[in-house]
């Protein structure tokens, strides 16, 4: 009996030791990965430069920490990586230029702290809490995708950290009473409405439209809004149907579309299903005049589909060809800020082995720019001052017009930015090239209509 009690004691002690060891090790990895997880080696170089500068009282230098999670693994990996590349490029540009200089001579530089969210919501809140409390991030950027962003927004709001969202288009996250969250993207509700306008301008007689979409959060929100808009414009929605996100064979679905004989098909979902769908529409020789898909067409990789890509239209948050300039800002009566579109493209390609930036990359860069401009206008790194500037922000970037809803019902929702629509066309030498076809004022080519 005595023996078993001694044994219990020993065990308890061992357990205690184990737990304290856990506690200790829990804190170490928390701090360790911060610099290590930083994907841009360039910025950490600037962090080290901070110390000698701080010793000099002449110009005070502060380094702000920008925190976010990235989907280094899992199904959002590709888009998320592009987004993070864009953001890191922004950070590098600012730091290489010597940082931001405020009126009192303070130099502001940036460093990133990031973790892998595995494209899963499970740990998003844990990681954002870590970013907010342990890594003391000053400002947050959203993860990629609406679902992950919704989970992160709870944490941003809780700690009163400003979070610029990019790659998170669903409207619903901005209608939950948050005050710290600002959206860089055009929201889902306005993703496809422009395509309806484009169709109207092309062919007033084409009245039969089919909405076919991936049954997921983002695409369903998009097509529901677009359907309402199309019906308002007098369109006859002959088919409104989702497909499962796991769908690989669209054969039966396409047969059903063919049976409904629409003039136009609008919908899609993400890259994988969208490109599969486009390929099978082409293989089946479906006779449709107007074909618009979400997400997939603007991606440079969409050209891999060859003929199947020809004539496909897609809404894009940003295009290299969409030339927003200081002049266009003047015309619209807006402030211009940041680099020109082609400056961004060439820097991006130089930084990432010639990889062509997609709108996810531009979104990441723009999120950084928004923050940068807000800090400059606030002339302070104080989050509340920055927050106040964001409330009234109204400016033009290479990414487009940025203005946030400030009503309590939809605080932070993007109301300035709008989509451009691209179409894959033959460039005359047999190669595929993206052209901007809508809005009219930014168009680089006429729409190929009907779709070949």
Partner 1 sequence: MDFLFASIIDGLLLGFVYGIAAMGLTLIWGVMNVINLAHGPIIALGMFGVYLIFTGLGVNPYIGVVLVAVLGLLLGMLIYYIAVHRVINAPHLSTLLATFSINMIIIGLGTAVFSASPRNVDFSLGSMTLGPITLLGSRVVAAVASLLITGGLYAFLYKTRQGRYIRAVANNRDAAELMGVPSTKILALSFGLGTMLASVAGALIATFFPFTILAGGVYELKSFVIGVLGGLGNPIGALFGGLILGVLEGIIPTFMPTTWVPVLEFVLFVLILLVRPQGIFGAKK
Partner 2 sequence: MSGIRKYLGLILAIVVVLAMAAWPVINGKDITREVVFTMLLSVGLASSLNILLGYTGYVSFGHVVFFGLGGYVGFYLMAVHDWSLWTAMIAGGLASAALAFLLGKAILRLRGGYFALATIGVNEAVRAFINNFDPFGGPVGMSLNFQVYKNYGGGAREALWMSFYILVALTLLITVVTYMVRSSKFGLGLLAIREDEDAAEVMGVIAPNAKTWAYVLSAVFPGILGVLFFFKNGNIEPAPAFRLQMSIEMIVMVMLGGQGTVLGPILGGAGYQRLRGFLLTNPLFKNIQLAVAGVLLLVIVLFVPAGVVGWVRQRFPKLRRVLQ
Place of tokens 């496809």: 192
Q: How far is CA 109 from the centre of its chain?
A: 23
The site string for partner 1 over 262-281 (x = CB under 8 A, - otherwise) reads ---------xx--xx--x--
Tell which one of 13, 15, 97, 261 touches partner 2 (CB under 8 A).
Answer: 15
60 binds, among partner 2, partner 1, none (CB under 5 to 8 A by kind): none
Q: Site for partner 2 (CB under 8 A): which residue of 13, 17, 32, 427?
A: 32
Q: Rank residues 31 and 249 by Cβ distance to partner 1 and give the closer one.
A: 249
Q: Residue 197 corresponds to which tokens in the numbers above?
A: 């306008």
| 3-class secondary-structure state, position 154 | helix
Q: Where would I find the H helices in 98-250? A: 124-129, 146-158, 193-202, 217-232
Nearer to partner 1 by Cβ, of 28 and 285: the residue is 285
Q: Is residue 249 involved in binding partner 1 (CB under 8 A)?
A: yes
H helical segments located in 32-161: 33-36, 41-55, 77-96, 124-129, 146-158
Residue (of 81, 442, 434, 413) closest to 221 by Cα position: 413
Among positions 194-223, residues that touch partner 1 (CB under 8 A) are 215
Closer by beta carbon to partner 2, 30 or else 440: 30
Q: Which does 123 bind (CB under 5 to 8 A by kind): partner 2, partner 1, none?
A: partner 2
Q: What is the spatial distance between Cα 186 and Cα 190, in angstroms, rounded to a whole number? A: 7
Q: Count of CB atoms within 10 A of residue 105's CB?
A: 10
60 binds partner 2 (CB under 8 A): no
- The footprint of partner 1 on this chain (CB under 8 A) covers a number of residues equal to 35
Scanning residues 52 to 81, which ones bind partner 1 (CB under 8 A)? Answer: 73-78, 81
Per CB under 8 A, which of residues 95..154 are in contact with partner 2? 115-116, 118, 120-123, 125-126, 129-130, 132-134, 147, 150-151, 153-154
Minimum distance, C-beta of residue 72 to partner 1, in the bound complex (Å): 9
Please give the backbone phi and psi of residue 98, each rounded to the nearest 5 degrees, phi first.
90, 10
Q: Are 116 and 130 in contact (CB under 8 A)?
A: no
Q: What are phi and psi of 209, to 5 degrees?
A: -120, 150
In 271-419, beta strands by DSSP E: 290-293, 313-316, 335-336, 394-397, 400-403
Question: Is residue 85 within the footprint of partner 1 (CB under 8 A)?
Answer: no
| C-alpha 178: how far from chain center | 19
Binding residues vs partner 2 (CB under 8 A): 1, 3-4, 7-8, 11-12, 15-16, 19, 22-23, 25-26, 29-30, 32-33, 36-37, 72-73, 115-116, 118, 120-123, 125-126, 129-130, 132-134, 147, 150-151, 153-154, 157-159, 170, 172-173, 175-178, 215-217, 219-221, 242, 244-245
């Amino acid at each position: 009996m005595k023996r078993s009690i001694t044994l219990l004691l020993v065990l308890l002690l061992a357990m205690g030791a184990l737990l304290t060891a856990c506690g200790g090790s829990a804190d170490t990895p928390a701090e360790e990965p911060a610099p290590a997880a930083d994907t841009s080696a360039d910025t950490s170089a600037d962090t080290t430069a901070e110390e000698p500068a701080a010793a000099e009282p002449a110009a005070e230098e502060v380094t702000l920490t920008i925190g976010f999670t990235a989907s280094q693994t899992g199904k959002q990996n590709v888009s998320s990586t592009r987004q993070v590349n864009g953001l890191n490029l922004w950070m590098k540009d600012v730091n290489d230029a010597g940082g931001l200089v405020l009126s009192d001579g303070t130099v502001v530089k940036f460093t990133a702290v990031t973790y892998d969210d595995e494209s899963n919501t499970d740990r998003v809140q844990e990681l954002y809490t870590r970013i907010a409390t342990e890594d003391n991030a000053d400002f947050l950027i959203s993860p990629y995708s609406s679902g992950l962003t919704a989970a992160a927004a709870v944490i941003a709001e809780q700690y009163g950290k400003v979070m610029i969202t990019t790659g998170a288009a669903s409207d619903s996250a901005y209608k939950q009473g948050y005050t710290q969250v600002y959206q860089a993207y055009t929201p889902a509700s306005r993703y496809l409405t422009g395509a309806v306008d484009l169709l109207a301008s092309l062919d007033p007689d084409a009245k039969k439209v089919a909405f076919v979409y991936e049954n997921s959060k983002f695409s369903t929100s998009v097509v529901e809004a677009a359907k309402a808009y199309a019906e308002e414009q007098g369109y006859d929605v002959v088919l409104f149907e989702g497909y499962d996100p796991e769908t690989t064979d669209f054969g039966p679905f396409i047969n059903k579309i063919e049976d409904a004989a629409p003039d136009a098909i609008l919908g899609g979902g993400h890259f994988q299903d969208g490109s599969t769908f486009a390929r099978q529409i082409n293989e089946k020789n479906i006779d449709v005049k107007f074909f618009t898909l979400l997400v997939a067409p603007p991606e440079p990789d969409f050209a891999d589909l060859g003929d199947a890509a020809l004539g496909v239209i897609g809404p894009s948050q940003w295009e290299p060809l969409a030339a927003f300039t200081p002049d266009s800002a003047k015309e619209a009566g807006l402030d211009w800020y940041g680099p020109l579109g082609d400056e961004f493209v060439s820097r991006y390609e130089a930084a990432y082995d010639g990889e062509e930036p997609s709108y996810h990359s531009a979104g990441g860069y723009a999120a950084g720019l928004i923050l940068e401009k807000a800090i400059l206008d606030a002339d302070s790194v104080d989050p509340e001052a920055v927050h106040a500037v964001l409330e009234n922000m109204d400016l033009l970037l290479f990414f487009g017009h940025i203005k946030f809803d400030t009503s309590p019902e939809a605080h932070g929702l993007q109301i300035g930015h709008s989509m451009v629509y691209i179409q894959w066309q033959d460039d005359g030498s047999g190669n595929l090239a993206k052209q901007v076809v809508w809005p009219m004022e930014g168009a680089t080519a006429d729409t190929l209509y009907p779709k070949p």
